[in-house]
Structure 1
Amino acid sequence: MKTILITQAKVVNEGKIFEADVLIKDGLIQQIAPKLDVSADTVIDAQGQHLLPGFIDDQVHFRDPGFAAKGSIATESKAAIAGGTTSFMDMPNVKPTTTTLENLEAKFDLASKTSWANYSFYLGATNDNIEEVKALDPNQACGVKIFMGASTGNMLVDREKALTDIFTHSPTLITTHCEDTPMIQAQEAIYREKYGEDVPMKYHPDIRCREACYKSSSFAVDLAKKTGADLHVLHLTTAEEMALFEPGPVAGKKITAEACVHHLWFAEEDYETKGSLIKCNPAIKKISDRDAVRQAVREGRIDIIATDHAPHTWEEKQNTYFTAPAGLPQVQQSLTALLDMVHQGVFDLETVVQKTAHNVAIRYEIKDRGYIREGYAADIVLVDMNKPHTDNKADNLYQCGWSPWEGHTFKSSVMTTIVNGEIKYHQGQFSEFTPGQRLSFDRS
């Protein structure tokens, strides 16, 4: 494997920013020093650029297998690489659902041939697959996913005994989508009575209401406390939910929380211009909710930032309210959107790195990734904080071909993405395809 020397980079790592040279050899970070007088096969002059650990996205829907028209592991992981994501964890609501160990390993096999980035997958829980959950090796998958709110693929877990069994017996981290389905269905009936099928999109946060979010997430937190489960609650959206989680460092927590980029960026006023393009579950809500979630990121109540990347075709998204699917694609824009928030003073750069890399590695117990450290995998990203670029359809790499940020000019750009010591993306160009690696975990 070729050696790479990165010179004069502003390294952002473990709460500090410092200038250094970084030598990569055999897929690993071999040396970090103020000045390295060594030869290498490739030298990258990174003067004026920041070097970050690659984004580890703990929640994506790459739609493979079963829904390749929306997105595949190949297309979406390539877009992720261009956006500075070096590892992802993919959800089980595909076809066939990833609810058996056999289907889980089949998905790993598919990714080993097609994924540009490193990867892991969740085993999906159902009302009746507790024996599959019990049989899961703790190091086999990134976690167990429970949809405690309506999902695609008939994966809703709504029986209290099933939930208690999963929380009691899961051998690894449990992640949850928390919304109360009966409350949502009641709201749907009210709005269907008033508007028929064509409900204005601005009412989506009233239908997927805050009360439904809080009821479900508070139940999950209470159940985790009662059973001792390791719980990570995904894509939180309301101010009320923030009080359910403790502030401070992620290390040692049994109950943790995630926020997604689109919930940190958009607010309900954006339905007027974006409509179904930002329809997602749970829904984007008020500016006050967005600001509360941002504050929770700063306080450490929100431990991880992810994307919930969920592509749908443009044609599907043009449907009326009840038939337009929920979800939006964003792995190509997620890091630069967060860097815009750094420019705006919402977060500092060290916090972005902590929430997208360090904390993910800690919470999921990922082996030797998530940091710029000697001996760790060389999963790193160079960004130019002062190189604007405009998001446009021509540069969009998703299978679905659109982005909710189209037309927006980001203040920063991803310049180079290195995965396992290989330059996968550099100044707009991709190298020849080589597959990423299956993530390894260091769990007892």
Structure 2
Amino acid sequence: MVRILLLNAKVVNEGNTYETDLLVVDGYIAQIAPNLSGQHADQIIDAKGNYLLPGIIDDQVHFREPGLTHKATIRTESRAAVAGGVTTFMEMPNTVPNALTQELLADKYAIAARSSMANYSFFMGASNDNLAEVLRTDPRTVCGVKVFMGSSTGSMLVDDEHVLNELFRESPMLIATHCEDEATIRANTEYYRATYGDTATAALHPLIRNEAACLTSSSLAVELARRHNTRLHILHISTADELPLFTGTADRPVSLQDKRITNEVCVHHLWYDSRDYEQLGNQIKCNPAIKEAHHKEALLAALLDDRLDIIATDHAPHTWDEKQQSYWQAPSGLPLVQHPLLMMLEFVQQGKLSIETLVRKMCHAPADCFRIEKRGYIREGYWADLVLVDVNQPTTVSKQNLFYQCGWSPLEGHTFDATVTHTIVSGELVYQNGAFLAERAGKRIFFNR
């Protein structure tokens, strides 16, 4: 029985911040109270008044295994995640082969059981021809079904209207959608290829994958969900245009846990805007595209009034050489899972949101939205997924302190005011002051459905 005692921690949880001690016993939070210094413990951590947060839950990552392990693996990216305070991830099905059968989905769980530092779940993939297989998915053991309603790889684009209608009507579990209209993107691509040819740069990306592409597809997803009362979660909202599809605090009739249509915003759509293509180019090429500055301002406002529910990363690593290709050939996606907490803490330092809101959107909301069992909160009896942050110890991002297999980040050279000093995953201290203390600690997460 492993016992970890944290002393003098400034706990941020459920809208409050207060100083206390915390005892972890055999994986779970056993006691939260002041003056626990007399308790026996195998490991004692003096937090010295630093912030203790629930572990971050990232509901959208691409860890590339199996089949794309030259880019990343579950082991490498989960290590990067816990170094940044992300203790739980939900990974997408567009690996190779695509996770379109229960057997292929089980293979990914087996890989994670052997190698993941963080807690894990995996989305079941949908295609135009695997509806029966999708309906075999167990809602208690799998986070959801992923539907690409826009450009994707392999056979994962679902553009058959009959299939979409049947999927939304029949699915007993959460459907997570990538919403970009394929016809709009194809028409824009044809136009800009003809206009710019080989001189095209990433600055064209938000024009090709534009606001209309996002709104058309998101509107269709919402319409289908309302028609069939489907549990819908729209991933990576990137435009102000889509925000009227969602209700905010004043209009919300139910708790987030009971809300039928939810969404996420990604850190890069809050952090970057189209002006950043000049310096970063293909490094920030992603789908949906990073767009003009007024969009990120509207997204932040919607996050604060609860039209947007969750903050995630859509971590999607590619090799540096792949990203150095021409705009047309360079793949979309950027590595982010090591730094979302530090990015949002910078927003806190700038007065753009409170640390309590950060915790609500990155910890509580994902747990409530997906109905995760005993995670996402600092509560007695819950799993001990915890991250300790020193907000007075700067971190400068460099190749030397990146843990991604791809070895690069668009944030290189940026200095954050804070540092993640300790990460506890399922009751095990796995990361401390830049060093990993375990080979694996992650556990499969389960859902109250």
Fold match, TM over 0.5? yes
Q: Distance in 1 between matches of 2:198 and 2:312?
A: 32
1:117-159 Cα offsets, whole Å, 9 max, x none, are 0000000000111101111111121000000000123310001
Q: Distance in 1 between matches of 2:259 and 2:336?
A: 28
Name the residue aligned to 1:94.
95
Question: Match for 2:44: what amino acid?
Answer: V
Q: Distance in 1 between matches of 2:358 and 2:154?
A: 33
Name the residue aligned to 2:2.
2
Instruction: Say whether the 8 Å CA contact 2:82–2:118 is kept in structure 1.
Output: yes
1:58-78 Cα offsets, whole Å, 9 max, x none, are 000000000111000000000
The answer to whether the aligner puts 1:417 opposite 2:423 as a matched pair is yes
Q: Distance in 2 between matches of 1:152 and 1:345?
A: 40
Name the residue aligned to 2:18.
18
Name the residue aligned to 2:127.
126
Alignment partner for residue 293 of structure 2, among 280, 287, 292? 287
The answer to whether the aligner puts 1:349 opposite 2:332 as a matched pair is no
After TM superposition, give the deviation of residue 195 of structure 1 in Å: 1.1
Q: Distance in 2 between matches of 1:290 and 1:330?
A: 17
SS at match of 2:123: strand
SS at match of 1:243: helix
Instruction: Say whether the 8 Å CA contact 2:425–2:441 is kept in structure 1.
Output: no
Instruction: Say whether the 8 Å CA contact 2:430–2:441 is kept in structure 1.
Output: no
Name the residue aligned to 1:80.
81
After TM superposition, give the deviation of residue 393 of structure 1 in Å: 0.6
Question: Match for 1:49: what amino acid?
Answer: N
Alignment partner for residue 360 of structure 1, among 366, 372, 396? 366
Question: Match for 2:52: what amino acid?
Answer: L
1:306-355 Cα offsets, whole Å, 9 max, x none, are 00000000000001111000000011111101111111111110111111
The answer to whether the aligner puts 1:297 opposite 2:303 as a matched pair is yes
The answer to whether the aligner puts 1:158 opposite 2:159 as a matched pair is yes
Name the residue aligned to 1:442.
448
Name the residue aligned to 2:53.
52
The answer to whether the aligner puts 1:244 opposite 2:245 as a matched pair is yes
After TM superposition, give the deviation of residue 171 of structure 1 in Å: 1.8
Task: Name structure 2 gaps, 5 residues minimum.
Answer: 250-254
Task: Name structure 1 gaps, 5 residues minimum.
Answer: none
Question: Match for 2:97: what amino acid?
Answer: P
Q: Distance in 2 between matches of 1:112 and 1:440?
A: 14
Instruction: Say whether the 8 Å CA contact 1:133–1:171 is kept in structure 2.
Output: no
TM-score by length of structure 1 reads: 0.99
The answer to whether the aligner puts 1:65 opposite 2:71 as a matched pair is no
The answer to whether the aligner puts 1:114 opposite 2:120 as a matched pair is no
Instruction: Say whether the 8 Å CA contact 1:250–1:300 is kept in structure 2.
Output: no
Name the residue aligned to 1:340.
346
Supply the RMSD in Å over aligned alpha carbons: 0.9
1:253-293 Cα offsets, whole Å, 9 max, x none, are 10011000100100110001010000000000111100100
The answer to whether the aligner puts 1:27 opposite 2:27 as a matched pair is yes
Q: Distance in 1 between matches of 2:438 and 2:263?
A: 37
After TM superposition, give the deviation of residue 55 of structure 1 in Å: 0.5
Give the 4+ runs in structure 1 shifted more than 4 A: none
The answer to whether the aligner puts 1:432 opposite 2:433 as a matched pair is no
Identity between Structure 1 and Structure 2 (%): 53
Name the residue aligned to 2:233.
232
SS at match of 1:417: strand
Instruction: Say whether the 8 Å CA contact 2:257–2:370 is kept in structure 1.
Output: no
After TM superposition, give the deviation of residue 29 of structure 1 in Å: 0.2
1:205-252 Cα offsets, whole Å, 9 max, x none, are 001011000000011001100011000000001001111111125232
Q: Distance in 2 between matches of 1:74 and 1:435?
A: 11
SS at match of 1:196: helix
1:167-218 Cα offsets, whole Å, 9 max, x none, are 1111210000000011011111111111113312111100101100000001
* 1:362-377 equivalent positions in 2, closer than 5 A: 362-377=368-383
After TM superposition, give the deviation of residue 34 of structure 1 in Å: 2.1
SS at match of 2:337: coil
Q: Distance in 1 between matches of 2:191 and 2:440?
A: 51
After TM superposition, give the deviation of residue 435 of structure 1 in Å: 3.4
Q: Distance in 1 between matches of 2:132 and 2:119?
A: 28
Instruction: Say whether the 8 Å CA contact 2:14–2:377 is kept in structure 1.
Output: yes
Q: Distance in 1 between matches of 2:165 and 2:225?
A: 9
Q: Distance in 1 between matches of 2:413 and 2:301?
A: 28
SS at match of 1:292: helix
More off after superposition, 425-434 vs 221-230: 425-434
Q: Distance in 2 between matches of 1:171 and 1:100?
A: 17
Instruction: Say whether the 8 Å CA contact 1:94–1:153 is kept in structure 2.
Output: no
Question: Match for 2:6: what amino acid?
Answer: I
Question: Match for 1:397: what amino acid?
Answer: F
